[in-house]
């Protein structure tokens, strides 16, 4: 396709719009002043040190990691067999069940968080940690169902049938034939669900309390009362984390397949 100057300029401006705000954050993370200034005066790493000296950032980062990993693993364990059953077997009301499994993406996050908080935490007195874990499980599950489901639909069913005819049990065929063949989509769905769970605010906001607060929630509450380059520094660290994850996805299966 031939290039068109007007179109290139337009797209360039859109990319500038997408990146300039993030570039400004990155620059302000190195300024010496104790309030955020742009352009910056001086150059320092002290705000990065300050991030690691802030115990609530460290604690909430560890909690975020734990919640996101556990929730995503639980979603994999529950979601992969469900996606398999939905694509391979003549389940009655298949579309209905599939929509039900995908419904956490349709219900607004604040509503999921609010109803979990009110019913699970307040009425049933379930500890916040478990509420948080369940909330994150709910928002992770649709990614697993969708990504694993679509790769199962493309997988040639006959290789599994061959294994059955050769005397393999259904369980054995599933674990040794089907799972390895969809491993890249399992990884992709895991990464997508993990990133989404790690970044989630609306569900987490309702289910946080003393000592139980995910990193984005802690950061958000911090921003409402403080305006200093520590936030910029933490943002830069989180963006670096995102770049590393994107790099890992690209190396293992290509970003294009994830989206």
**80-109: which residues touch other proteins (CB under 8 A)?**
81-82, 84-86, 88-91, 97, 100-101, 103-104, 106-109
Window of 54-62, 151-159, 179-187, 238-246 that interacts with other proteins by CB under 8 A: 238-246
For residue 212, what are the β-bridge partners? 209
Tell me which stretch binds other proteins (CB under 8 A): 35-43, 54-62, 65-73, 152-160. Answer: 35-43
**Helices (DSSP H) in the chain: which residue ranges?**
5-28, 46-53, 55-88, 94-102, 109-116, 128-154, 158-165, 170-173, 179-181, 183-199, 202-206, 215-225, 229-252, 255-258
Task: Report DSSP letters for 210-231, one per residue.
Answer: TTB--HHHHHHHHHHH--SHHH
Q: Of the candidates 132, 178, 182, 195, which one interacts with other proteins according to CB under 8 A?
A: 195
Cβ neighbours of residue 137 under 8 Å, at least 6 residues apart?
A: 71, 74, 75, 78
Strand partners, 209: 212
Q: Segment 203-222, which members bind other proteins (CB under 8 A)?
A: 205-206, 216, 219-220
138 binds other proteins (CB under 8 A): yes
Chain position carrying tokens 């620059």: 27
| By the rule CB under 8 A, 231 interacts with other proteins | yes
Nearest to 195 by CA among 259, 103, 151, 122: 259
| C-alpha to C-alpha distance for 120 and 135, rounded to whole angstroms | 10
Minimum CB–partner distance for residue 18 and other proteins (Å): 5
Comparing CB distances to other proteins, the nearer of 69 and 102 is 102
Query: In the range 111-130, which residues lie near other proteins by CB under 8 A?
Result: 111-112, 114-120, 123
Whether the ω angle into residue 182 lies within 30 degrees of 0, i.e. cis, is no
String marking each residue 139-178 x if it binds other proteins according to CB under 8 A: --x----------------------------x--------
What minimum distance in Å lies between the beta carbon of 179 and other proteins? 14
Q: Does 137 bind other proteins (CB under 8 A)?
A: yes
Least Å from the CB of residue 174 to other proteins: 10
Q: Report yes or no: 132 and 212 within 8 Å, Cβ to Cβ.
A: yes
Q: Which stretch binds other proteins (CB under 8 A): 17-25, 42-50, 154-162, 175-183?
A: 17-25
Site for other proteins, residues 44 to 73, rule: CB under 8 A: none
């Amino acid at each position: 396709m031939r290039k068109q100057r007007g179109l290139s300029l337009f797209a360039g401006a859109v990319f500038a719009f997408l990146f300039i705000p993030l570039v400004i954050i990155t620059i302000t993370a190195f300024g010496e002043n104790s309030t955020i200034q742009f352009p910056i005066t001086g150059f320092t790493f002290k705000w990065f040190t300050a991030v690691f000296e802030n115990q609530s950032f460290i604690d909430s980062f560890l909690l975020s990691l734990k919640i996101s990993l556990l929730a995503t693993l639980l979603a994999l364990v529950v979601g992969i067999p469900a996606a398999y059953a939905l694509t391979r077997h003549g389940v009655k009301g298949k579309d209905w069940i599939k929509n039900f499994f995908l419904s956490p993406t349709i219900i607004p996050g604040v509503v999921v968080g609010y109803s979990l908080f009110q019913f699970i935490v307040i009425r049933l007195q379930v500890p916040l940690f478990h509420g948080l874990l369940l909330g994150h499980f709910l928002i992770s599950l649709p990614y697993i169902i969708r990504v694993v489901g679509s790769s199962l639909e493309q997988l040639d069913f006959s290789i599994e049938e061959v294994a059955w005819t050769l005397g393999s049990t259904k369980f054995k065929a599933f674990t040794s034939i089907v799972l390895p063949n969809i491993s890249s989509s399992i990884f992709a769905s895991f990464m997508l669900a993990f990133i989404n769970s790690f970044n989630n605010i609306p569900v987490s906001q309702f289910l946080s309390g003393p000592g139980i607060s995910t990193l984005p929630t802690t950061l958000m509450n911090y921003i409402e009362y403080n305006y200093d380059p520590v936030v910029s520094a933490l943002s830069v660290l989180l963006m670096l984390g995102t770049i590393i994850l994107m790099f890992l996805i690209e190396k293992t299966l290509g970003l294009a397949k994830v989206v």
